Structure 1
């Protein structure tokens, strides 16, 4: 029997779907008011924040709600086709999301932050690439699965 504690998934560490829905709901409230990315989301449906929370939750190790109910990664790619997103919009999306995260007081663990920012950087860059002219409809694309990365779990003060 091992005394090594179970390392939680990123989904568990952030606080599950409740924390993600709070984060993404607050974030998109701010997006609507933003002059750089607000126009990109001006026609988003009321359920958009819940869909994004489900997607991110699944990527971070939560239940496959987005894949089961909303089409999986290929469908997320389709949502970005021909949107012509810019690097300025991507960076604003990212900084606004991270500011919202901090303002809500969600876990500030450095390893978690590293993993989350790593995924958000990767995913937002993928969104920009897939939003440009000439990108074809995606074929089956596996759902990304993000973990702790190079670290073995959350930072523990005083640990080695």
Structure 2
């Protein structure tokens, strides 16, 4: 069975999606602040693209090339409290609004799967630690997603 990553068009599409999403977030008054700090990390969009790609069935580039630990990723997003409750859905909408610009195939199943993953991640795992990064366990593994949702 084809993965979501493959059906979406591979890494080039995820890089364009991360870049387009980043620009939308910079233009959003609520999301601008955290995304403006991504400039301190010049490879932010490549990392984000690799993370999404790996989570959606692509190569393990994020964990292999950047040593990405899910605990580290969660710590970056922890401690946001009520801000995350509003920011998560706004971020997910920025991703969906970037589909056409990024060249995500105009296939309803592909778009549904990517949108469902991003909405789940932005309102679930990325809101799991509202109080402090110190609450994030050290042994989290990257969640993976397929056509039916989270893969255990």
Question: How far has the Cα of 1:119 moved from its partner?
Answer: 1.0
Match among 60, 66, 75 for residue 62 of structure 2: 66
Aligned length: 143
Q: 1:100 corresponds to which residue? A: 98
Cα RMSD of the aligned pairs, angstroms, is: 1.8
Range with greater deviation from structure 2 (98-107 or 119-128): 98-107
Rounded Cα–Cα distance in structure 2 between residues aligned with 1:134 and 1:25: 28
Q: 2:108 corresponds to which residue? A: 110
Q: Deviations over 1:95-122 (max 9, x none)?
A: 1110011344421222222221221121
Structure 1 stretches lacking a partner, 5+ long:
1-6, 151-160
Structure 2 length normalisation: TM-score?
0.84
Rounded Cα–Cα distance in structure 2 between residues aligned with 1:71 and 1:27: 21
Rounded Cα–Cα distance in structure 2 between residues aligned with 1:91 and 1:78: 19
Q: 1:156 corresponds to which residue? A: none
1:53 partnered with 2:49: yes
Rounded Cα–Cα distance in structure 2 between residues aligned with 1:76 and 1:105: 26
Q: Alignment partner of 1:70: what SS?
A: coil
Q: 2:25 corresponds to which residue? A: 31
The answer (yes or no) to whether the contact 2:4–2:57 under 8 Å persists in 1 is: yes
Rounded Cα–Cα distance in structure 1 between residues aligned with 2:36 and 2:14: 21
Is the alpha carbon distance of 1:134 and 1:31 closer, same or farther for their aligned partners in structure 2, counting shifts above 3 Å?
Answer: closer
Question: How far has the Cα of 1:58 moved from its partner?
Answer: 0.2
Question: Pairwise mapping of residues 80-91 of structure 1 onto structure 2 (< 5 A)?
Answer: 80-84=77-81, 85-91=83-89
